[in-house]
Amino acid sequence: MAITDQQILKKIILESEQALENGRIREHAKAIHALTELLLEKEAPSLSTSIDEVEWRKIVGETPKKTNEKVDVAKENSDSLLDF
C-alpha cells in the first residue's frame, strides 16, 4: 500500500497540533522533519550519477577514436616497472 502525499500532510498537521497541546515540541519537530523529508524524497527525481562514455563524448564534444590500430606487442610486454 502506497502512502499518499495527503496522508503525509495530514500526519504533519496532526504532529503540529499535538506539539501545541502537550508541549513536547522537540519530539514532534523531529517527527515533522522526518515526514517532510519523506515527502520531498517522493517528489525529487532520482539523478543518475554515472555517465557512459558516449554521453560524456557528446557533452565534451570529442569524437571517439578508432581502435583499429595495431599494437606493438614487444613494447607492451616490456620488463620495466615504469612502463605503463
54-76 per-position pLDDT tens digit: 776 766 666 656 666 666 655 55
pLDDT tens by residue, 72-82: 655 556 666 66
- Residue-range domain boundaries for the chain: 5-70
Indicate whether this model's pTM tops 0.85: no
Residues constituting the chain: 84
CA distance 14 to 8: 10
pLDDT in tens, 16-54: 999 999 888 899 999 999 999 988 887 666 555 566 777
Over its C-alpha atoms, the chain yields an Rg (Å, rounded) of: 28
Between vectors from CA 10 to CA 8 and to CA 11, what angle results, nearest 5°?
Answer: 65
Residue with cell 554515472: 50
Quick check: 15 pLDDT over 60? yes
